[in-house]
Amino acid sequence: MNEPISNNPDERGLLPYPVILAATKGDPEAMKIVVQHYASYIAYLSTRKVRDEYGNVYYGIDEDMRDRLQAKLMRAVLDYKID
């Protein structure tokens, strides 16, 4: 599962069409693959800067934002219509 989907550098990181098709039809395993594919990007988007009481700056993932982005991705996949 952690291996590249393709050895072609132009196609590396693309989700296979059958996985996309299955995810749009509501297959839970395919949806899990789609969410895992975008997990690092979602983590990047949900990273926030936090200061503690001493003024030190830390970076952490806003769990609420991460959950919202994952839900938005899943809703977009389910709403997508393939002709």
Q: Are 14 and 28 a contacting pair, CB within 8 Å?
A: no
- Does the structure show a pLDDT above 70 at 54? yes
Mean pLDDT over 5-21 rounds to 74
Using a cut of 0.75, tell me whether the model's pTM lies above it: yes
Which of 11, 71, 80 is CA-nearest to residue 38? 71
Mean pLDDT over 30-40 rounds to 96
Q: Are 70 and 42 a contacting pair, CB within 8 Å?
A: yes
pLDDT given for residue 1 in this prediction: 46
pLDDT given for residue 81 in this prediction: 87
